Amino acid sequence: KDLLDKGIADLSALRFLVLDEADQMLDMGFKDELDAILATANPARRTLLFSATMQPEVARIAATYMNNPHEIVAGRRNQGVGTVTHYFYRVHAHDKYEALKRLIDVKSGMYAIIFCRTREGVKEVAARLSRDGYTADALHGELAQAQRDSVMGRFREGNPSLLVATDVAARGLDVDNLTHVIHYDLPDEVSAYTHRSGRTGRAGRSGASLALVHMREGHRIAHIERAIGRKMEEARIPRGHDICEARLMDLLSRVKDVVVNEEAVGPYLQAVRDSLASLDRDELLQRFISVEFNRFLEQYGSAEDINPTVSKGPPERRATGPMVCLRLNVGRRHSVLPPQIIGMINKSTDSGDIRIGRIDIDANSSDVHVDAAMAKRVEQALNGYSYQGITIRVERGADQRPSKGAGRDGRPSFRQDRPPARGPKKGYKGKSGRNK
């Protein structure tokens, strides 16, 4: 477009025009540039337009700038690849990253692209995976072309084995032997789900598409199923025991199937026998397993089941009871008001049914009193939660019994440390007994 504006480029004699990834170019905001280029090109040209999805804007370009266009569809539109099995996992928001790690750990040798909706999400997930010892890289729109080429080159070679990417950034990345595609965030468009999932199960190989579904996103599964023409299988997030058992079986399978070079190993056998002579059979097996297996035992040996429990019927009305004070590292200076604090609790815990009492907001911190039975869950969910670029930190205060300030039926009562604008009123009572 810049070359056309400067009069350097002349498209009047153009014979062929090929537009690849048209849908993504439009998504990236190049509509005006595409219109300008196509409008100035030789009208007698032959135009070939390739698009993974047929969005309305793509159809408009075809109708406006192509003469008597013929649509050629490779396979059924939006249909998933037949060699791909589709699974979805219901998960609470605060357990999402833990669920991702468990899906990776339960399957040895996973070679996968993990899709996030935003570049910030990509950077965060990739960084956390790397800190936790996984070989992972990030691919997003902020990378320079040389960085992008380097990341894609390493991933094609299998190191790292995990690539966290946005939909746009992953365009043009073709890897034939991916074992899994993981939807850390469901895409906004069903067609994007199909395009993501089609990256595995290629060249006759089997593949798996795994979707982490927030409890409030369950209705979207039916839309995806209708689009791909098949059922998605609901699966449970692996428990600690499941992961330990799967990795142990994988280790034993590799031991049984390994090809032994007897000529190379032979000279060392006697030294091995002498070194291990003090161990009986069971001791030898235990130590052999522990060499490769201790990390999983330490991490998952006593891990909790994080599969959400879906309650049947209406929620019970909570009685009043002990409250716990949690102090957050945000206050008036950060433009925090009681509704924002309630919203943080709702979103981080994926619940709107936690009893909240008094909220006191100071200049740089806020105290919120929550149901003692739910305090640990709220504390864990809020710790590390991001609010307007601030990482929330939570400190535990003293337990409290219900008081006048707590409000009827645990309804929240709010106070700020500066006098109100009018009148002597010192507190504000919320509208609901439960945060909505």
Closest CA to 377 of 287, 316, 308: 308
- Edge to edge, the sheet with strand 356-361 lists 394-400, 323-328, 366-371, 356-361, 413-416, 428-429
**pLDDT tier at 343 (50, 70, 90 boundaries)?**
confident
Determine the average pLDDT of the residues in 84-89.
Answer: 94
Same fold, 84-238 and 323-429: no
Q: Which residues, listed in sequence order, are joined to residue 414 by a DSSP beta bridge?
A: 359, 428
pLDDT digits (tens, 9 = 90+) for 1-56: 778 888 888 888 888 888 776 666 665 556 777 788 878 888 888 888 877 666 66
Is pLDDT above 80 for 300?
Answer: yes
Q: Where are the domains of the chain?
A: 2-65, 84-238, 242-258+266-300, 323-429
State how far the Cα of 348 lies from the Cα of 308, in Å rounded to an integer. 14
84-238: CATH topology is: Rossmann fold (3.40.50)
- Report the DSSP pairing between strands 356-361 and 366-371: antiparallel
pLDDT digits over 216-225, tens only? 788 899 999 9
CATH number for the region 323-429 comes to 3.30.70.330
H-only helix segments in 41-189: 56-65, 96-106, 119-131, 145-156, 167-170
Average pLDDT across the chain, whole number: 81
Q: What is the CATH number of domain 2-65?
A: 3.40.50.300
- Given a cut of 70, is residue 433 above it in pLDDT? no
In this structure, the number of other CB atoms found within 10 A of the CB of residue 364 comes to: 12
> Of the candidates 333, 319, 327, which has an alpha carbon nearest to the alpha carbon of residue 398?
327
pLDDT attached to residue 101 = 96
